[in-house]
Structure 1
Amino acid sequence: MSLSQNQIFRTLLGVALFAVLLLGYQPSAEANRTCPDAKLFSQKLITDVCWSCLFPIRIMGASLGGGNVPSGASNQALCLCHDNLGVPEPGMGVGYWEPARLVEVVRQAGCAPSLMGTTLPGASRRFQGTPGAGEDDISDHGFYHYHYYAFPLLLMLDLFTPGGCMSDGMMDFDIMYLSELDPTWNNDQLAFFTNPEAAAVANLPAQSACMIDAAYTATGNVNNAMWWCAGAWGSLYPLSGKVPTTGFANMTSLSSAKAIGALHRRGLAQRT
């Protein structure tokens, strides 16, 4: 090959590489199946958010829009917020349902679709999850890992909320908890020692009462008296990753409810 031909070849190769970089790298289908990218930070931040769920919005004690106001919500017209120097500044009371946390439920240990399909280091395949089989035996239970993120959506999008009035101090998207690092999540016996009140509801009458809770929540009401029930999803206890095989949506929803319950039980999810 002559020198001029070699230069032409290098030029064409450089153009081809530049075109590949310009178009962007697309992961293979096999990689997507292993740990898919949820494309969280895309147009989904706008299109996949239930914006109507923010209502009712309360301003100075007056409600705007339909929806349920949680018990214990402030109805004060005026309030005080402290600035960076700790000096109180007067303001008006505003309240609404704010997207504050994101719970990610996965079967593959360490897989983080919300982090662009990243596989977190240190995860062992011995803790791999399973959807269960539903064959009237021990396989009637599934197991999922969860990742708990700070997700102050309105603050991230610079909507409505001034940073100085954040109740929990979380200002951006961040990892808060990984079930792969929690030995109680894949062991019911260990989970019992962190929440021994499970013994009080580990009986047929208490579990049967969850049918009442399911009927109550189906009407759109909240029943705080049956704290061990998660509506039609099932029982919150034990606070571990094992869930009955009642369908993918129910299983992942119950796993998320268990995760939130376990974190609140340990004092790690306050003010949400």
Structure 2
Amino acid sequence: MRSARSLLLGLLVLLSSLSASAATCKGKFANPITDICWSCVFPIYIAGAKINPFQQEDAHIVGGNPACWCGNPPKIGVKVAFWEPLRRVDVVREPFCMASLGGIKMDPGFDAPAHGRSKTQAQTQSSFYQAHWYIDPEIFVLQAVLDNGCLENLSFDVAYLTELDPLWNDDELTRILNPDVYLFANIPAQAACAADCVAATAGFSNNLFYWCAGCQGPLYPLNGNVGAHVGGVQASSIIVQRLTAKLHREGLMWGAHGEGGLCGYYPIPLMDKTAYKYQMLYPIPQTRGSPSKISPPQDWIGRCCQPFGRTTAIWGAGREFPFEGEDFVYQIFRKRNCCQGAVKFGG
């Protein structure tokens, strides 16, 4: 009888440990209607006319003649601009945990570094996360606008897993991508990030401080090692920025803004921080901000997305909680300037 009871107790302990292990991967399929901050698409410019009912922030305003012309393919048209929701990022503790796909766990047959936190000699907390990069052009996927050359015409897909990247958890190997990190491994360079924090909180980050991720800390190294972990929202936000910068450096993300983007995409190895906004999708969708009584232009507190680098103290409170709220999913918006063709030549 005692042996049977011991066996039953052992089975219960084993089952509880297995269920606890399986439950560490959490996530949610985002509702494209209710979970996306659609107001972040604004402001929209059409032939110089500005449409901005939600008073959203903007950068890379292309002025001048509202008409435009492109040579390949030859076309004439009008200038349009908007913020396109086109990528999604998981920032997770457990390797191969696909938070955007409802929290399923992939099993490729090998291990990868898992999340961890530790104290440095200076008593600051550091952490490590894995990340997943999804192709997610929401406007095209939902077919809200059909046959438009200004939209990225791709389907939803998993494009990049950091678990398969040997550089993602190794600071030494990562220097292959960012050898300029040696220029900024000093106190004055790191102190300059305070100025970038101020700029990002008031508007957009300053590209002059390209080694900074605004209020989140240093952008380098371009991997999952967060040297100054303040909280999960802050740490996951810097991971989003680092992965975006890393893919630009590898030639896997291109620019689409400014005069250069009117006729197509172009390589930009050094990420332009002012060309991106982002919002949280999980664990708590960031679809509306807290009310603001501050008059314009400092009325961004009530908005549901923010530029790279803005302090998470404004919008991140209560968005991290134990167990199901320690992995994160973000939607990325990229600025798009485009020549909307009215007339095409030669086909």
For the aligned pair, the TM-score class normalised by the smaller chain equals 0.7 to 0.9
1:37 matched residue in structure 2: 27
Among candidates 126, 143, 148, match of residue 128 of structure 2: 143
| Gap runs ≥5 in structure 1 | 1-27
Structure 1 residue 88: deviation in Å?
4.9
Q: Over residues 90-113 of structure 1, what are the superposed CA-to-partner deviations in whole Å (9 max), with x where a residue is unaligned?
A: 543322111011111111111112
Q: 1:247 aligns with which of 218, 223, 231?
A: 231
Residues 37-186 of structure 1: pairs in structure 2 closer than 5 A: 37-40=27-30, 44-65=31-52, 66-71=55-60, 73=62, 77-79=66-68, 88=74, 90-122=76-108, 124-130=110-116, 132-133=117-118, 140-160=125-145, 162-166=147-151, 169-186=152-169
Q: Select the structure that is richer in strand.
A: 2
CA distance in 2, matches of 1:63, 1:194: 39
Measured in 2, the distance between the counterparts of 1:111 and 1:241 equals 15
The amino acid across from 1:251 in the alignment is A
Query: 2: distance between equivalents of 1:147 and 1:186?
Result: 14
**1:213 & 1:105 partners in 2: Cα distance?**
23
Please tell me whether the aligned partners of residues 136 and 156 of structure 2 are also in contact (alpha carbons under 8 angstroms). Answer: yes
Q: Cα deviation per residue 1:5-41 (whole Å; 9 max; x = unaligned)?
A: xxxxxxxxxxxxxxxxxxxxxxx9757623223122x
Q: CA deviation at 1:62?
A: 1.7
Distance in structure 1 (CA, Å) of the matches to 2:185 and 2:159: 30
Q: Distance in 2 between matches of 1:257 and 1:123?
A: 29
Instruction: Output the CA distance in 1 between the equivalents of 2:224 and 2:231.
Output: 15
The alignment of Structure 1 onto Structure 2 pairs a total of residues equal to: 236
**1:238 correspondence with 2:225:** no
Per the alignment, in what secondary structure is the counterpart of residue 98 of structure 1? strand
Q: Helix, strand or coil: the match of 1:225?
A: helix
Amino acid at match of 1:179: T
Deviations along 1:157-182, one digit per CA (max 9) or x if unpaired, are 1123634433xx54211111110111
Change (3 A) 1:112 1:71: same
Which structure ranks higher in relative contact order (CA pairs < 8 Å, sequence separation ≥ 6)? 2
- The residue identity in structure 2 corresponding to 1:246 is V
Residue 213 of structure 1 aligns with which residue? 196
Deviation at 1:68, TM superposition (A): 3.4
Give the counterpart letter for 2:91 in structure 1.
V
> Could you report, residue by residue, the CA deviation over 1:207-251 in whole angstroms, capped at 9, with x for unpaired residues?
011111112211123311000111110001111111122111100
Is the aligned partner of 1:203 residue 2:189? no
Give the structure 2 partner of residue 22 of structure 1.
none
Three-state SS of the structure 2 residue aligned to 1:199 is helix
Q: CA deviation at 1:57?
A: 0.4
Alignment check: 8 A CA contact 2:135 2:157 kept = yes
For the Cα contact (< 8 Å) 2:120–2:126, is it kept in 1?
no
| Structure-2-length-normalised TM-score | 0.61
Which residue of 2 is the match for residue 267 of structure 1? 251
Contact 1:133 1:245 in 2 (8 A): no
Amino acid in structure 1 at the alignment position of 2:115: G
1:36/1:113 contact within 8 Å kept: yes
Write 1 or 2 for the structure with the bigger share of helix.
1
Query: CA separation in 1, counterparts of 2:167 and 2:194?
Result: 27
Secondary structure at the aligned position of 1:194 is classed as coil
Gaps of 5+ in 2: 1-17, 256-333, 335-347
Closer, same or farther: CA 215–89 of 1 in aligned 2, 3 Å: closer
Letter in 2 for 1:162: D
Name the aligned partner's letter for residue 56 of structure 2: G
Name the amino acid aligned to 1:260.
T
Larger-gyration structure (1/2) = 1
Among all aligned residue pairs of Structure 1 and Structure 2, give the percentage whose two residues are the same amino acid: 35
Aligned partner of 2:211 in structure 1 is: 228
